[in-house]
Amino acid sequence: MTDKQPHQAGQANQPQTQIKIVDNIPGTEYTNMMQVRHNKDEFQTIFLNVMPPTGKTVSKIVTSPGHMKRIVMALQENLKKYEEQFGKIDESEEPVNFGFEERKNS
Full-prediction pTM beyond 0.85?
no
pLDDT at 38: 97
pLDDT at 20: 82
Q: What is the mean pLDDT of the chain?
A: 83
Kindly report whether the peptide bond that precedes residue 53 is cis, defined as omega within 30 degrees of 0. Answer: yes
User: How do residues 13-51 score in pLDDT, each as one tens digit?
Assistant: 778 888 887 777 776 789 999 999 999 999 999 999 998
CA nearest 51: which of 28, 35, 33?
33
70 lies in which domain range?
28-87
Residue 12 has pLDDT above 50, yes or no: yes
Label residues 14-52 b or e (16+ Cβ within 10 Å = b): eeeeeeeeeeeeeeeeeeebeeeeeeeeebebbbbebee
CATH, residue 68: 3.10.450
Number of domains in the chain: 1
- The answer as to whether 18 is a domain residue is no
pLDDT at 93: 81
Question: What is the rounded average pLDDT of the residues 83-97?
Answer: 86
- The answer as to whether 4 is a domain residue is no
- The answer as to whether 21 is a domain residue is no
CA nearest 31: which of 8, 51, 1?
51
Residue 94 has pLDDT above 60, yes or no: yes
